[in-house]
A and B are shown apart, each in its own frame.
Chain A
């Protein structure tokens, strides 16, 4: 375990665009939590990171989650720390929200809602896409 961030001094030599695409609902499977942890670890590497929520992935950001009844950690609170980890580009697909009867006001953090046509263009600009 390294306590100091080795990259702070000079920065990495090449900055790549990493996009993490979340397509799964929380709790029913482990994908959502695992992806969030990967994003937080990867945030240490000073790359250009963006996180996308589409399909059931948008459900990860639903407000008012209360997991006391299912005995699991309510990790929806952790998305609020993404800003502290300097993960600032967070996109939610408009069509996925609409299909579930959700709006931007239903989400735990401020996000950029993009229509599929616009999100497609952002995706096309990435160097690495990690999907879950």
Chain B
């Protein structure tokens, strides 16, 4: 939106990737929806205040079956107008027992 990042012009280099091998990959075990309903960022990415996805920015499951970035949900539950309700269905938030 009107802001551009200046970029050194002479440092671009063309690389052709012939093959690549993935030693491992991970994703959160979430069905259906792919973004957090609070920040609208993908579950597999991190919440807006973190920079690295993964164990440092975990997801949290509610008994109501809704899933959020844990940091997003904590911020919401601490907001005075949350009344400690799930953002999606307004039932009192109860964290689900360990997800299998």
Q: Do A and B bind each other?
A: no
Residues of A within 8 A of B (CB): none
